[in-house]
Amino acid sequence: MSDSFQIAKEAYADLNVDVEAALARLEKTPISIHCWQGDDVGGFEKEGASLEGGGIQATGNYPGKARTLAELRKDLDTALSLIPGRHRLNLHACYADLGGKKIDRDAYTVAQFQSWIDWAKPHGLGLDFNPSFFSHPLANDGLTLTHPDPKIREFWIQHGIACRKIGAEMGRQLGSPTVTNVWIPDGSKDLPADRKAPRARLQASLDTIFADKLDPQLHLDAVESKLFGIGSESYVVGSHEFYLGYAIKNQVVLCLDSGHFHPTETLADKISSTLLFVPEILLHVSRGVRWDSDHVVLFDDATRAVMEEIVRGGFLDRTHIGLDFFDASINRISAWVIGTRNAQKALLSALLEPIQSLREAELAKDNATRLALMEEAKTLPLGAVWDEFCTRQNVPVGHKWIAEVKAYEKSVLSLR
């Protein structure tokens, strides 16, 4: 144990903060790490696949992108070796292992994901899942579950149904429930004449997909809204109001993506409200920059505020923390490591808040003390506690992980 950790512990104890309890909670909290940072959301259904017809975009062409499932898994291994704690892997259906066979997405079964389950098990990783409603010939016009053509709609409904079954089987085999999250790109670039009909179709499609009740010990359904996307600037069928209503009515998990709201809205403020009405939330921890919603997560005020709300509200057990960003302009493994470590650091910082003193000050209407403590807390020795966590978890401390990624880039990525 380092001297700086001892000093940090005392500094926190002075404010009635139990550092060991915070570390124990952090260790127990998995982050659902998204597979799609590794190859710019391409997937491996066909060679050289890339993001199409999906209203989302990865920009940049930094060398070394994973070209096969094996490469992606190797990259994930490297990233995981630099991230403290036990986590989950969040897969998209377009990462199916087709083994050279021609199978379309409406016919996927667990067979196409068995190699992922077999890989996840010895890694101690739980799996989360997502149907892929993009990068497919039947999604080229950016319409899926709301498509006016009933045949196309039916294809996507069957894909959704298939993915829930796969998710439940992942949950069963790994002994930990899989969260399967539905996000669709459907919307309209220009002003639609009819905002109602697509939403009614989306509701009906979701009702059909979710019709079979699944054991929550194996599987949970989540739905994700969005404000706008590329090609859906004027209208998004699955808006926040739509999915908030849907999740409340059907008591499914509500996915809140940090990049999917107006820039002046705070995601953090939505947590205590939505959790009064929905059973659980899934976070897509991300970072919006202007029109983009998917930059690498920082240890910034927005991320910290989200984690603070979860901890303050006692919501950790009802929150699934997932990541959602894809940056193709920097080393992709570094992107994973930076974003995941920052989400964890923000959580640790929230767990180390002098919450008891803050509450007491608030109840006593001593708002100056409340503000003073919040500000003083910002410069408490968080870094020493974080370093101790990394040491205990056997991952590099501080900047030391950067050299490891550089070595991997030289010996593996640069040869691709």
Which residues are the active-site residues? 183, 224, 226, 257, 260, 284, 292, 294, 324
Q: How far is the CB of 284 from Zn ion (least distance, A)?
A: 4
In contact, 237 and 226? CB cutoff 8 Å: no
Which span (69-77, 266-274, 276-284, 301-309) binds Zn ion, by CB under 5 A?
Answer: 276-284
Q: How far is the CB of 200 from Zn ion (least distance, A)?
A: 24
Choosing from 39, 40, 257, 308, the residue that interacts with Zn ion (CB under 5 A) is 257
> In this chain, which residue has its C-beta nearest to ligand RNT?
183
Q: How far is the CB of 272 from Zn ion (least distance, A)?
A: 21
Nearest to ligand RNT of 130, 205 (CB atom)? 130
Q: How far is the CB of 105 from ligand RNT (least distance, A)?
A: 14
Chain residues that interact with ligand RNT, rule: CB under 6 A: 36, 41, 56, 92, 130, 183, 224, 226, 257, 284, 293, 324
Nearest to ligand RNT of 76, 377 (CB atom)? 76
Nearest to Zn ion of 147, 284 (CB atom)? 284
Nearest to ligand RNT of 205, 349 (CB atom)? 205
Nearest to ligand RNT of 23, 51 (CB atom)? 51
Q: How far is the CB of 92 from ligand RNT (least distance, A)?
A: 6
Q: How far is the CB of 327 from ligand RNT (least distance, A)?
A: 12
Nearest to ligand RNT of 84, 187 (CB atom)? 187
State the binding partner of 130 from ligand RNT, Zn ion, none, CB within 5 to 8 A by kind: ligand RNT
Nearest to ligand RNT of 282, 311 (CB atom)? 282
State the binding partner of 353 from Zn ion, ligand RNT, none, CB within 5 to 8 A by kind: none
State the binding partner of 156 from Zn ion, ligand RNT, none, CB within 5 to 8 A by kind: none
Contact between 284 and Zn ion (CB under 5 A)?
yes
Choosing from 75, 324, 388, 409, the residue that interacts with Zn ion (CB under 5 A) is 324
State the binding partner of 36 from ligand RNT, Zn ion, none, CB within 5 to 8 A by kind: ligand RNT
**Which burial class, exposed, middle or buried, applies to 32 when counting CB atoms under 10 A from its CB (0-12, 13-18, 19+)?**
buried
How far is residue 153's CA from residue 127's CA, in Å, rounded to a whole number? 27
Find the Cα–Cα–Cα–Cα dihedral 320, 292, 136, 184, rounded to 10°: 50
Q: In three state form, how does the secondary structure of the chain look?
A: CCHHHHHHHHHHHCCCCCHHHHHHHHHCCCEEEEHHHHCCCCCCCCCCCCCCCCCCCCCCCCCCCCCCHHHHHHHHHHHHCCCCCCCEEEEEHHHCCCCCCCCCHHHCCHHHHHHHHHHHHHHCCEEEEECCCCCCHHHCCCCCCCCCCHHHHHHHHHHHHHHHHHHHHHHHHHCCCEEEEECCCCEECCCCCCCHHHHHHHHHHHHHHCCCCCCCCCEEEEEECCCCCCCCCCEECCCHHHHHHHHHHHCCEEEEECCCCCCCCCCHHHHHHHCCCCCCEEEEECEEECCEEEECCCCCHHHHHHHHHHHHCCCHHHEEEEECCCCCCCCHHHHHHHHHHHHHHHHHHHHCCCHHHHHHHHHCCCHHHHHHHHHHHCCCCHHHHHHHHHHHCCCCCCCHHHHHHHHHHHHCHHHC
Which span (27-35, 193-201, 284-292, 332-340) binds Zn ion, by CB under 5 A?
Answer: 284-292
Q: How far is the CB of 56 from Zn ion (least distance, A)?
A: 9
Q: Count residues near Zn ion (CB under 5 A).
A: 3
- Residues in touch with Zn ion (CB under 5 A): 257, 284, 324
